[in-house]
Amino acid sequence: MSTTAATAWDFDAQTLTGKPAPLSAFRGKVALIVNTASKCGLTPQYRGLQALHDRFKDRGFVVLGFPSNQFGQQEPGTNDEIAQFCEMNFGVTFPMFGKIDVNGDAAHPLFKWLKAEKPGALGIEAIKWNFSKFLVDRDGKVVDRYAPTTEPDALAADIERLLG
């Protein structure tokens, strides 16, 4: 698949329960795609991500969480443990996917594409840490990339603009 022709909706992933999940199911929505971790100093951002999801979901917005264990081994659990942690500690109801790599040769194709579409500071594509965020419009095009330390509520105006 050519990265210039692709949209976020052209990729598939697996849910935390191992079921196939075509991202085309989110076509027509504005999405915030985030690599997550359960044992990170930024893990409390789950609360803010859930708040964004709740605030805008009825207008066509969704947060999509992709756990990754590539940064400081901060997502060591199984997919079942991740699901339980997110629900119990942060009331997460937005879609969470199976654990993936976001950097390197084994990086999930979605993240390879996201990074190519919207490189970070100084044109560096690699994801620096947990909770890097990509804002995708209704057509599946990457609009912006946010640093791991950018709090979810700081994205509300950008989401609002895309929702119209």
Query: Which of 92 and 4 is assigned the larger pLDDT?
Result: 92
Catalytic positions are 40
> Is position 2 within any domain?
no
> Is position 3 within any domain?
no
Q: Which residues contact 138 (CB under 8 A, 6 or more apart)?
A: 27, 28, 29, 30, 60, 162
Pairing between β-strand 61-67 and β-strand 12-14 as defined by DSSP bridges? unpaired
> Is position 110 within any domain?
yes
Looking at the predicted structure, is the pLDDT value of residue 118 above 50? Answer: yes
Q: What is the DSSP letter of 97?
A: B
Segments forming the whole domain that contains residue 113: 8-163
CATH number of the domain to which 78 belongs:
3.40.30.10
Q: How many domains does the chain have?
A: 1
What pLDDT is attached to residue 9? Answer: 96
What is the reported pTM? 0.93
> Is position 149 within any domain?
yes
Looking at the predicted structure, is the pLDDT value of residue 3 above 60? Answer: no
What pLDDT is attached to residue 30? Answer: 98
> Is position 40 within any domain?
yes
> Is position 1 within any domain?
no
In tens, the pLDDT along 32-70 reads 999 999 888 889 899 999 999 999 999 999 999 999 999
> Is position 75 within any domain?
yes
Residue-averaged pLDDT of the chain: 92
